[in-house]
Structure 1
Amino acid sequence: MILITGSSGQLASQIAHQASEAGLDLRTASRAPEADRQMDFDHPETLDFSGVDTLFLTSAGYAEDDVVMRRHGAVMEAARAQGVGHVIYSSLHASGAHLGFALAHRWTERALQASGMKWTILRNGLYAELVGALVAPRGGKITTPFGNGGISAVARNDLAAAAVSVLKAPDAHVGRSYELAGTSAISAADIAGTLGVPYVPNTFEAERELLGQMPLLPFQAPMLMSIASAATAGYLAVENTDLVELVAEPQDALTIASAVAQAMAQP
């Protein structure tokens, strides 16, 4: 049996849907009441992996590093103790090494590789949907400071398809790490051109001030600024991707990001 955690989230829910359509024997786990098993990573006593052969661990990255590492550590400890044979982990692409949320991913990868369980790591690129949301026009122009650097963004649906490809034959992917970036890099200027609006990036100081006025959790503003910094420095564009090994026809990230940006545009 396959169990996927975080099944109420945007990525994991798509994986669960595609896996179900593919006829896989899959169960869902989440704090949400509609999940097959209610689990809360902050409460290890709720971690029930009985009967699970393959665990798809969706990163619980919506928190500070120490919190995420504690959560993932508890999951791996419980999974090993309860006889899970193979863990597939949704991690962060190598190009994201400079991002503010990379540490917990790398720690989890290392802990998983040392766990004694079989493992597969899916290093996901930044979501095209996230990039679109971050560069949504404000007052008729895009102001998010992404410089001129490209981002090899990838659609969540493609990352879900890649995950299902692995879940169909887990043993064929044991000990593999896949770098799942998009097939081409897109920039804030590209999205602005698609929407027909100017790209006038804020200074980093102005962007920090703007984020400081938003109702964000403490870790979120530094996380968002790290994306802007890494994009501006040119670290988020890559030339090669393993996505095409797992997904036949990846979607166009620019189209997806532009649609999200337009939908979220502020007057």
Structure 2
Amino acid sequence: MADAGTSPEGMEDGRIIYGETLQLDVLLNLQGKLASGGDDLFFIVLHQTHELWFKELLYELERARDHITVDALDSASGQLRRVRAIEELLTAQLLSMMTLSVEGFAALRERLGTSSAFQSAQFREIEFVSGLKDPRYLSGDWFSRAERARLRRRYREPSIRSAFDDLLARRGVVDLFTSLRRDPEGELRGIVEGLVAHDEGLRDWRTRHVEMAGRLIGDSAGTGGTSGIPYLRSRRKTAVFPELRAVLDRL
């Protein structure tokens, strides 16, 4: 037991210190030299917070997948509800990008060089964990060695898509529509709704991203070497569970 008046890490006179708990001295100094003036700080903070939420999305998707694997469907549904809530938050955050002027963003882009949100390894991990496993992203030279290793691991491991397919096989579900219609309030319905909501969350984020990028860069090429808006539009309707959406629409 510590003596009175001592200050263990995170404590001062026996009290838990908020800044120490959240390591704010580190967190609030991670914006670096790029966030030196103008709109720079806003842009960096927006993208750093996105990456923090991506980390949480990956955690919740992994938990949902693992719970589906052991038939703990109520728990998996809870994780999928949180996933959807986070995706709604991220989509809303993109609205704040509309406060950037076209001229201000153009100046910022010059300092970004070839850096681009397209190069977010965690976003590709989210796609892989969900079930969208495009091998073209495994060898991208815009990823670090550690990021490529994580992507290769995600590519090999089961996805939430494969976990759901295995669940249907274990339960002998041949016609999902009929199964859900017989038990409309069952736990399987909750999983289907959660997976469709996750799909919609990614779609809504992509749609908002296209709108934001279109206003800021117009027909310019993307900073990450993509075609820019044409590439974003081509990805907007990407779906992991289109057949589940079709089933729900029939119910």
Structure-1-length-normalised TM-score: 0.26
More strand by share: 1
Structure holding more helix per residue? 2
